[in-house]
A = this chain, B = another copy of it.
Amino acid sequence: MVLLRQAVGHTLRAARTSQARTLREVARDARVSLGYLSEVERGQKEASSELLNAICNALGLNLSDVFIDVSKELKSREGVTLTVVDAA
């Protein structure tokens, strides 16, 4: 079963590592504990909507753009490739 929190965690971790930032840095900027962020990234904890916004802000990303990537990740886990165009 494909779980949303796993796709969210994978997407947030990919965004963070693409910025070459540590868990500690992003957790500090988002004002969440390092353990919380780590559990969210590993898909072990559901992020609340408010803390998800804080994490996205810390990463400099729009919530909507993160969820386009989450949709792609979900599609990928369902074996489908998703192309998004004209998002401006």
Binding site for B on A (CB under 8 A): 1-6, 46, 48-50, 52-53, 62-64, 67-68, 70-71, 74-75, 77-78, 80-88
Contacts and interface: CB of A to CB of B under 8 A. Distances in A.
A71 B74 contact: no
B87 A83 contact: yes
- What is the copy number of this chain in the assembly? 2
Contact of A64 (B52, B64, B71, B83): B71
Contact of A74 (B46, B50, B63, B75): B63
B63 A4 contact: yes
B86 A68 contact: no
B80 A49 contact: no
Contacts of A63: 2, 4, 74, 78
